[in-house]
Structure 1
Amino acid sequence: MNKWEKSVLHEGTDFLVFQSYHDDKTFALVGAVCAVSGIPLDTVLEVFGEYFVQYCFRHGYDQLLRTLGKDFISFIQNLDALHANLQRTYSKLRPPSFRCERKDADSVYLHYFTERTGLHPIVKGVVKVVAREIYNQVAEMEVISISKQQIEGGLDQEHVIFLVKLKDIDKKKILDNCLNVFQSNGSQTSLNTSHFCKAFPYHIVFDENLEIKQCGDMIPKILHMCLKANTSMTTLFDITHPPMKFKLENILTFINSVFYLGVKNNKNAETRLFLRGQMLWIDDLRLMMYVCSPRLSSLLELKQLNIYLSDIPLYDVTRELILLNQQRIAEIDIAKKLDETTAELKITSRLLAEEKQKTDNLLFQMLPQKVADELKNGRTVKAEKFADVTVLFSDIVTFTDIAAACTPLDIVRMLNELYQRFDARTSEHDVYKVETIGDAYMVVSGVPEAKKVHAQPIAKFAIDMIKEASNVKSPATGKPLQIRVGIHSGPVVAGVVGVKMPRYCLFGDTVNTASRMESHGEPGRIHISPTSYSLLKDDHYVFRDRQCIEVKGKGSLHTYFLVGENGRLLSEPEDIFRNLTILKNDIPVNGSVTETVSYDNYNDEITPIKINVVLQDDGQIPRNNSNIVDRETKNLKTRSRTSTMCNLL
């Protein structure tokens, strides 16, 4: 993720080109950039100013900027007019105003007016790039003063004065020494007032008292009135841009700005008429001349204002602008919709990716990831044979009675709580949950990825299952649940069954035998087959020897109860199987001095208790039970609140 993406993420907002944003968001973004980059605020703003000019160059404004002025000063003097034009596209633009005042041949004072305070470092960045890229000059800038300027009738402005020094400057680019030879050609070709007013139908000349001294032929027509001599400008117009009261000193402050005058007598009309033009101060006559044109942007406005194209002089580009703007409006609408659609697509794409991830997670819970990926890619999943796996089945003791005594909703809640606990343990022990049917829970290790060590994870998982089940209470009795667990190891065939609702299933005698181990098991105990026992007996697990039992469909099998591992023994239920021989590393625990531990099911504390056991040979131990261990465990029952286990440490 780059720094811009980090900044947007830090600020929490995405940005569209044709969308306007409150300054709070702009400053928040700038603050985020400062926080991410560690760069001071003024430096970030100045760098942004430099980047902004380059951005404009890359996005089609380079020719416009390079032809804005013949030299640096004329470029700055015409920025206000450029901003006024851009307001047609960006209607909520609040542009600054610029004015140059020459200090000497190599430097100028740059006056910067804005209602948005604190952004003047951007101007430094913009000016430096403009001087370097357009005029091949090096601009050195220094802030001379920053003050608040009160503009009567308008918003308070921040007035910043820069001293701009231009190095290696070609003076011909600044000083225009070419004189107009016709300026002193006498008066024989001078236009009289009548001809002037006809040639320039949209102009107004007024004095220092704002009284009209002269106007073009079209001014009375668009005002729908005959003008009397010395009519005040303020009775006919108000200045809408720059925002200010109609006073001469205000006009002189923003003399480089494009001035918009709104006609007062049609305020209630469907469309108000505005004049757009330039104020020219004629110093020797002490007069101000406003050269303007009707501000029209569409054919619809012409119709609403009852103005025709013929009312606009042929030399006035307003004609072309109206026609071009009609086309531009359509293009902007398309671009804006495209921009918005692109942003929506990005959001939709991100949401789609999130939903796809959720779908994949759900699919991976139903099917192994390897199998799910094959199905997603449209490939057929072939059945696989796994030579060595360990399968576990479990069910809830007296589930039928619980279901009969409780509502279906209570049963669902109980199973959901129990299976959530089991599911969490599957991830911990890296075993695969095959399915749940009612109260039956089936897991396997060694599928879908073959493993050399597969019985041990299942054994650890089974021990945790017994403990987790005791933490869930029966809705019928309020007592902890008991489960039966059966484990068997052997070969299986695994594959996907079904199309509409594909399931990953295991087949083979190993599955049947594991199910038989569970059905022939006992409440609260882990019943394992001789095959699984052979894989676990040397790994510090503790068993009780159940001896041979008749298993449906299997005949006589020598089975075992897994009761724990070193340091982690289960609390055995109070049943007859507590008297069975305890096996550790395939050796009956019946000789020398050993340690017995009691495992408290409530607080998981282990209390060692030493007992003495008479040493006997294996051949002397009866195969049906161990009376030695039985005698010793009887003694221990009075020394612990819970049942006891033997634990060789």
Structure 2
Amino acid sequence: MYGLILDSMADCIKKMYGDKIWHSIVGSNDISNTFTTHKVYDEQLIPMIANSTEELTGVPVNLIMEEAGKHFIVYIDNIRNDRIIKVLGRTFRDFLNGLDCMHEFYRFSFADIHPPSFHISKEDVNGLELHYRSRRTFTGFMYYVKGLIRAIAEKFYSVDVAIHITQHGFTGDVMLAVYRLDYPNDLHIVFQNLVTEKRQFRLNRKLIFPSKLFFEQFPFHVVFDERLQILTTGHGLNIICHGLNGKRLNETFFMTRPLGYDLTWDNVLIHRNNVFELTSVKSTARINKNASQRFDRSLTHFIKLRGQMLYVEEWDFVIFLATFVMDDLDKMYEMGVYVNDLTFHDLSRDMVLHGLQQTTEYKLALDLEQGKNSRLEEIIQTLENEQQVTDNLLYSMIPKEIASSLRKGNTSVSLCEKYEDVTVLFSDVVNFAHICHHIEPHEIMKTLNKMVKVFDILCKTFNTYKVETVADGFMCISGAPTYDENHTKVMADMAIEMLTGIKTVLVPKSRESIKIRIGLHCGGVVAGLVGHKIPRYCLFGDTVNIASKLEAAGKAERIQISQCCKDKLVTYGNYVIQEKDDVGIKGSRSIKTYWLNGKALILQ
């Protein structure tokens, strides 16, 4: 799968569903954000992208692929790569008959392309049937082709065509589909009349063309009958492959185009408008001239012929008007084929002599382009990595939801929000000033770092948000900015784990565990960003003050909770709660408080 298809599909998704959906697809599938047009990628990327788009948007895969097919025409028009489509046929009917030729053109730019195969049947004045075959097994490509053909009909031929898939399935590893194309096809009658007139003209004038003269013009032709028995071959083919006369065509050659069909008489007649490509079953003799002017032979090369199947009604034979396909002069010499074996009239000689030079120049230019694209991909990847580092730093300062709103242009004032029910936790280190008096400054920083690291891990585990860390003080919240109906339970569980986790943090000289005290309270708060240069996410309200007071009035290795916290935790039934004295708030007011002593084991 070339990056051209992937890049056009990415462009389609961005335009139809937005950059946010595309970035979600990239993140969920761990794929590249950009694609190089001439680079080969995994075949499974298209199904992966289509299925992810369906999950995120709810749009069926078939419609997504059809829209992607339509958009491909817009995409190649934007990059000026639509020239072959513009000149492929004078009419829409001619275009469909020459659809295989389009992929032959793209082979010069995309050497490893695996093109599908098309042919027409059941043509009438109301439309025709188009048969599609491909080795790609993702059924979404059937709808991709449907959108592609409709877009070409509208853009280049101003034809309004209705397309229906009448049959689809698999033959071995080849996917096939039959499309019914309904559109005004009056040119079908014109073409049939023209064929009849030409035939009648030949009969009336008794035009006779000697077969010998005709065959000399095609040195690599093959004539065969209904049983596929080879009757005669061109002199050029005889030089490199002797003794073909009398053999069956399907025993000496296998058909690589049209794709997915057996080499039979009926298939040859049905696909006369298609390009045929035959490859010899057995390799031919390699000829190397040694010092004694003798030839040694080793079977290494295969003959490849490409051309048109011409049915001669008067003989009831088919002539394969083929040209010898070779892209390497060394192989050509080794097979014993020379330039003078090729014909003048079909420019075979020019294609060999000039084509190789142009191919070399094109390959060099393509290598340079791919080198630039690879460097660009590296730069983009580095930029994305740096962007990720920046995002992680930003999300450590303010919540991800708030950061996303700021990027959309919202002001910090507009992001101020009231939360009716959350749980706030405060903690600090007991006798922190005494500990600092007996250890070095760098040891203080080291100890605090270990403590905060433990708390950060717990915040991530319980999906709570750390509001701030000031010296030995720690504050976090559950229920905001992301709502959680079990916020009190989550905060209580985290507080219990904090008492366990802090035991791993030791005072440097005494080697005793750090002791902390914790306060919990639930209620309403107002949250928002404060500051412009270095904005901080802050909480305000009575709930914050009470939680801070409960922590300050607490004891080492104890969790002090308020009445409202206790009422919520009781509903869960597995918390050990101990009643204690009231705690005074602001001198004149006091509230009922409790010790949270952990969780009880519940036996089933």
Give TM-score scaled by structure 1 length. Answer: 0.56
Given the superposition, is the C-alpha separation of residues 414 and 261 from structure 1 closer, same or farther in structure 2, using an over 3 Å criterion? same
What is residue 161 of structure 2 aligned with on the other side? 139
Q: Which amino acid aligns with 2:182?
A: K
What is residue 568 of structure 1 aligned with on the other side? 549
Match of 1:248 among 243, 265, 268: 265
**Residue 86 of structure 2 corresponds to residue 66 of structure 1:** yes
What is residue 261 of structure 1 aligned with on the other side? 278
Deviations 1:273-322 (A, max 9, x none): 31122222334422121111111224454345443333322233443343
Cα drift, residue 395 of structure 1: 7.9
Given the superposition, is the C-alpha separation of residues 602 and 254 from structure 1 closer, same or farther in structure 2, using an over 3 Å criterion? same
- Number of aligned residue pairs: give it: 439
Given the superposition, is the C-alpha separation of residues 59 and 20 from structure 1 closer, same or farther in structure 2, using an over 3 Å criterion? same
Matches within 5 A, 1:24-423: 24-115=44-135, 116=137, 118=139, 119-148=141-170, 150=171, 155-167=172-184, 177=194, 179-180=197-198, 183-184=202-203, 186=205, 190-193=209-212, 195-223=213-241, 225=242, 227=243, 229-241=245-257, 242-263=259-280, 264-266=282-284, 269=299, 271-318=301-348, 319-320=350-351, 321-355=355-389, 397=434, 414=447, 416-417=449-450
Cα drift, residue 429 of structure 1: 6.4
Q: Which amino acid aligns with 2:226?
A: E
Given the superposition, is the C-alpha separation of residues 36 and 284 from structure 1 closer, same or farther in structure 2, using an over 3 Å criterion? farther
2:178 partner SS: strand
2:115 partner SS: coil
2:375 partner SS: helix
| Alpha-carbon distance between aligned partners in 2 of 1:169 and 1:400, rounded to the nearest angstrom | 99
| Alpha-carbon distance between aligned partners in 2 of 1:107 and 1:569, rounded to the nearest angstrom | 82
Deviations 1:321-376 (A, max 9, x none): 434323222233233333333222211222234456789999xxxxxxxxxxxxxx
Q: Which amino acid aligns with 2:303?
A: L
| Alpha-carbon distance between aligned partners in 2 of 1:606 and 1:104, rounded to the nearest angstrom | 84
| Alpha-carbon distance between aligned partners in 2 of 1:174 and 1:7, rounded to the nearest angstrom | 49
Deviations 1:488-531 (A, max 9, x none): xxxxxxxxxxxxxxxxxxxxxxxxxxxxxxxxxxxxxxxxxxxx
The percent identity for this pair of structures is: 19
Matches within 5 A, 1:356-505: 397=434, 414=447, 416-417=449-450, 473-475=506-508, 476=510, 478=512, 480=514
Deviations 1:524-570 (A, max 9, x none): xxxxxxxxxxxxxxxx9xxxxxxxxxxxxxxxxxxxxxxx9998288
Unaligned runs of at least 5 residues, structure 2? 1-17, 286-297, 397-430, 460-465, 473-497, 517-541, 563-579, 590-604
| Alpha-carbon distance between aligned partners in 2 of 1:34 and 1:566, rounded to the nearest angstrom | 46
Q: Which amino acid aligns with 2:75?
A: Y
Conserved? CA contact 1:566–1:647, under 8 Å: no
- Bigger shift: residues 267-276 or 344-353: 267-276
Conserved? CA contact 2:134–2:260, under 8 Å: no
Q: Which amino acid aligns with 1:282?
A: V
- Bigger shift: residues 36-45 or 5-14: 5-14
Deviations 1:376-423 (A, max 9, x none): xxxxxxxxxxxxxxxxxx9854768768xxxx9998853543576999
Cα drift, residue 203 of structure 1: 0.8
Matches within 5 A, 1:501-520: none
What is residue 551 of structure 1 aligned with on the other side? none
| Alpha-carbon distance between aligned partners in 2 of 1:290 and 1:73, rounded to the nearest angstrom | 24
Give TM-score scaled by structure 2 length. Answer: 0.60
Q: Which amino acid aligns with 2:274?
A: S
| Alpha-carbon distance between aligned partners in 1 of 2:56 and 2:435, rounded to the nearest angstrom | 61
| Alpha-carbon distance between aligned partners in 2 of 1:80 and 1:183, rounded to the nearest angstrom | 30
How large is the Cα RMSD of the aligned pairs?
4.8
Given the superposition, is the C-alpha separation of residues 4 and 176 from structure 1 closer, same or farther in structure 2, using an over 3 Å criterion? farther
Cα drift, residue 216 of structure 1: 1.7
2:119 partner SS: strand
What is residue 426 of structure 2 aligned with on the other side? none
| Alpha-carbon distance between aligned partners in 2 of 1:139 and 1:35, rounded to the nearest angstrom | 30
1:111 partner SS: strand
**Residue 555 of structure 2 corresponds to residue 600 of structure 1:** yes
**Larger helix share, 1 or 2:** 2
2:69 partner SS: helix
Cα drift, residue 220 of structure 1: 0.9
Q: Which amino acid aligns with 1:313?
A: T
**Greater gyration radius:** 1
Cα drift, residue 243 of structure 1: 4.9
Cα drift, residue 177 of structure 1: 3.0
| Alpha-carbon distance between aligned partners in 2 of 1:293 and 1:198, rounded to the nearest angstrom | 13
Q: Which amino acid aligns with 2:265?
A: L
Conserved? CA contact 2:125–2:186, under 8 Å: no
Say which structure, 1 or 2, has more relative contact order (CA 8 Å, 6+ apart). Answer: 2
Given the superposition, is the C-alpha separation of residues 397 and 25 from structure 1 closer, same or farther in structure 2, using an over 3 Å criterion? same
Given the superposition, is the C-alpha separation of residues 273 and 280 from structure 1 closer, same or farther in structure 2, using an over 3 Å criterion? same
Cα drift, residue 10 of structure 1: 4.2
Cα drift, residue 78 of structure 1: 1.2
| Alpha-carbon distance between aligned partners in 2 of 1:603 and 1:255, rounded to the nearest angstrom | 89
Given the superposition, is the C-alpha separation of residues 57 and 299 from structure 1 closer, same or farther in structure 2, using an over 3 Å criterion? farther
Q: Which amino acid aligns with 2:373?
A: D
| Alpha-carbon distance between aligned partners in 1 of 2:193 and 2:75, rounded to the nearest angstrom | 31
Conserved? CA contact 2:150–2:161, under 8 Å: yes
1:134 partner SS: helix
Unaligned runs of at least 5 residues, structure 1? 363-393, 434-440, 442-466, 483-539, 541-563, 572-597, 608-639
| Alpha-carbon distance between aligned partners in 1 of 2:244 and 2:44, rounded to the nearest angstrom | 49
| Alpha-carbon distance between aligned partners in 2 of 1:303 and 1:31, rounded to the nearest angstrom | 50
Q: Which amino acid aligns with 1:322?
A: L
| Alpha-carbon distance between aligned partners in 2 of 1:219 and 1:144, rounded to the nearest angstrom | 42
Conserved? CA contact 1:600–1:606, under 8 Å: no
1:177 partner SS: helix
2:82 partner SS: helix
Conserved? CA contact 1:204–1:290, under 8 Å: yes
Given the superposition, is the C-alpha separation of residues 161 and 284 from structure 1 closer, same or farther in structure 2, using an over 3 Å criterion? farther
Q: Which amino acid aligns with 2:124?
A: D
Conserved? CA contact 2:85–2:102, under 8 Å: no
